Amino acid sequence: MRLYLIRHGETMHNREERFQGSIDAELTPLGKKQAAALSEYFKPVKIDVTISSALLRAQTTINAILAHHPNLLLQISPSLNEQHGGQIEGQLRTDVLHKWPQYFTPEGRLNVFVTPEGAESYEQVQNRASKFLDQIISENRNSDKTILIVAHGMVNKVLICHLLSLPPHENYYNFYQYNACINEFVIDEKGTHAIRINDTAHLNVIGK
């Protein structure tokens, strides 16, 4: 099977560097252009299964792709939702850094292994998302099907570490997930093969 794992297009929360988490948000005009670029890229690609998180930004992105694949049935799974951020949801990064510096690494990155008050832990996100993906893989591993999933920045990085059997504490920060990026894997009886990660070449047509 071939797996495409995609991050949703840009939202205003992304642009403002505001922690979004489980908050629903619409795509910005740029985010809609990114979704349209994804749609054009996948127009000639044979897709068999499409799956989105239950959040609006992911569904809007995948629905743009489905415009060229009208016969596909979209599956929605909250197992792919972004981490619920608890008390930091909706907060600007700079404000969180000022109010709760304990949630950041010494390098100034949000420490996903420290759970904000009221938030899901990394392990909870990993458990629900990886179990869901493992079920999809189990059902399709020995087929020639192409699975396309649209999810979120943290969820995608969690799943990349899971797919490649990489310990998250040592590897999570080695991956970037830009808006509307494409990750591609081939999964067969020999294992999981990463074709590309965080590819944004298809967005060159729209600029920044």
Residues 141-150: tens digit of each pLDDT: 889 999 999 9
User: Once rounded to an integer, what is the mean pLDDT over residues 129-143?
Assistant: 95
Which pLDDT band holds residue 207 (cuts at 50, 70, 90)? low
**pTM for the full model?**
0.96
- Separation of alpha carbons 24 and 166, rounded Å: 30
pLDDT of residue 119: 98
Closest CA to 140 of 24, 47, 8: 47
pLDDT at 35: 98
pLDDT of 208 over the 60 cut: no
CA 41-42-46 angle, to 5 degrees, is: 145
How far, in Å, CA of 11 to CA of 101, rounded?
25
Mean pLDDT of 16-32: 96
SS3 of 115-149:
CCCCCCCHHHHHHHHHHHHHHHHHHHCCCCCEEEE
Using an 8 Å Cβ cutoff, are 193 and 186 in contact?
Answer: yes
Q: What is the pLDDT of residue 153?
A: 98
3-state DSSP assignment of residue 75: strand
- What's the topology of domain 2-203? Rossmann fold (3.40.50)
Residue 74 per-residue DSSP state: E
Interval 32-43 mean pLDDT: 98
d(CA 202, CA 163) in angstroms, rounded, equals 24
Q: What mean pLDDT value characterizes the chain?
A: 96
End-to-end CA distance of the chain: 33
Tokens read off for 93: 């990064």
